[in-house]
Structure 1
């Protein structure tokens, strides 16, 4: 018809890609969100905790992986122009969708990274809260930051009130705890839960933050209660043991054997000689 402008052949309609963000762009956004979350957490936490190394290692690994992926892709090849060919145009559109789209596996991988990052942030927050709540503890921040596994059940151990041999108490504690393979910090935390009375008062009177390891705690503990250690007798002590007038031979032998347990480095010949001289 006259007066009408002929329509321009617009060609085949372009199909919008299913996902309009590349994998590298999504990865970069998630890493930036993770760094912002960690930065906000550090600004809220006033207690210093050693946590830089794991975080830097995590982001460094992701940066290296992204660099390798970008290097392996190289420069995209230009497709041959196919003027007037709907088939060629359709193939190019499919190629663009594949290039810009993200597979389900890649989305799941990013989701796992986000979940792992969230757990690390929550762990740092929990450690910071524990340290903040125990600023007046004799334990250092290194010990306070260690968290006991909620599934761990404390074995039944005797209490210590400051009236018995401290070395015997330590030996009994280590004998049981060696079966569980806990760290030095966890052993230190569990050890003080069995202190009562004067022993508990001694621990709470220690300077704040002075205990760095379980070994250091044991050293201070045994030194303070050294006066309660059992004194070992010499072998000559057995020659002073006599059977009482109203004591049966059976009871005397039992008492004699109990006394031999208190002798340090007892020789069999010395024990026999002292018994026959009774």
Structure 2
């Protein structure tokens, strides 16, 4: 059982006075399934005027934790957090598996139409994967879309004959010939 009255912060942090001019900004809450680095970046940008007040940065950051993350925070050993950098490292280490992985255009080579999958479902799935790629190269997207189709299908042959197609053109052909 966790003693919630015992903070993981040092006494110095706990006893530090909040500046009288401090007004609580609006924060997004951090939940365990989010990217901790993204949350820390947001927090630092909102707290930019107070970034030199390490004690305040720690105390206020604790209020941005929600649900299981807040429960986890109170399982940290008492007096174990001496600075905002330490708090950031502990949080990042604990929740780093939840950060979003940036995918590149070549990730789309893994997206192939399953034999029993409808073409419209393949198109939907391909578009969803493409949407997760920032600045996706259209030439690679078109080529990977085509490569994901069965080679013995009429549509594959039509796509391969038209080299100057965009991905949008390819999707339009799928709708015309395969759905």
Shorter-chain TM-score: what band?
0.5 to 0.7
Tell me the distance in 2 between the aligned counterparts of 1:168 and 1:196: 15
Deviations, residues 154-184 of structure 1 (Å, cap 9, x unaligned)? 1111111212111111111112111444511
How far 1:187 sits from its partner (Å)? 0.3
| Contact 1:238 1:260 (C-alpha < 8 Å) held by counterparts | no
* Larger RCO: 1 or 2 (CA < 8 Å, sep 6+): 2
Query: Structure 2: how far apart are the matches of 1:273 and 1:233?
Result: 16
Where do residues 90-239 of structure 1 align in structure 2 (5 Å cutoff)? Answer: 136-239=6-109
Aligned CA RMSD, in angstroms, stands at 3.1
Find the counterpart in structure 1 of residue 142 from structure 2.
276
In the alignment, the residues of structure 1 paired with residue 64 and residue 105 of structure 2 have an alpha-carbon distance, to the nearest angstrom, of 35
In 2: Cα distance, 1:166 partner to 1:252 partner: 27
The alpha carbon displacement at 1:140 in A equals: 0.8
How much does 1:254 deviate?
Answer: 6.9
Q: Could you tell me whether the CA contact under 8 Å between 2:7 and 2:79 is conserved in 1? A: yes
- Cα offset for 1:273? 2.9
Q: TM (normalized to structure 1)?
A: 0.42
8 A contact 1:238–1:259 mirrored in 2: no
Q: Distance in 2 between matches of 1:242 and 1:135?
A: 53
Report the CA distance between 1:272 and its aligned residue: 3.5
Deviation at 1:232, TM superposition (A): 3.0
Unmatched 5+ stretches in structure 2: 146-179
Q: List alignment gaps of at least 5 residues for structure 1.
A: 1-133
TM-score, with structure 2 as normaliser: 0.63
8 Å contact kept, 2:51–2:57: no
Number of corresponding residues: 136
CA distance in 2, matches of 1:221, 1:176: 18
**C-alpha separation in 1, matches of 2:49 and 2:126:** 37
The structure with more radius of gyration: 1
Task: Say which SS state the counterpart of residue 220 (structure 1) adopts.
Answer: helix
**Residue among 235, 260, 263 paired with 2:133:** 260
Q: Residue 22 of structure 2: SS of its match in structure 1?
A: coil
Q: Is the 2:37–2:92 Cα contact (8 Å) retained in structure 1?
A: yes
- Indicate conservation of the 8 Å contact 2:105/2:141, yes or no: no
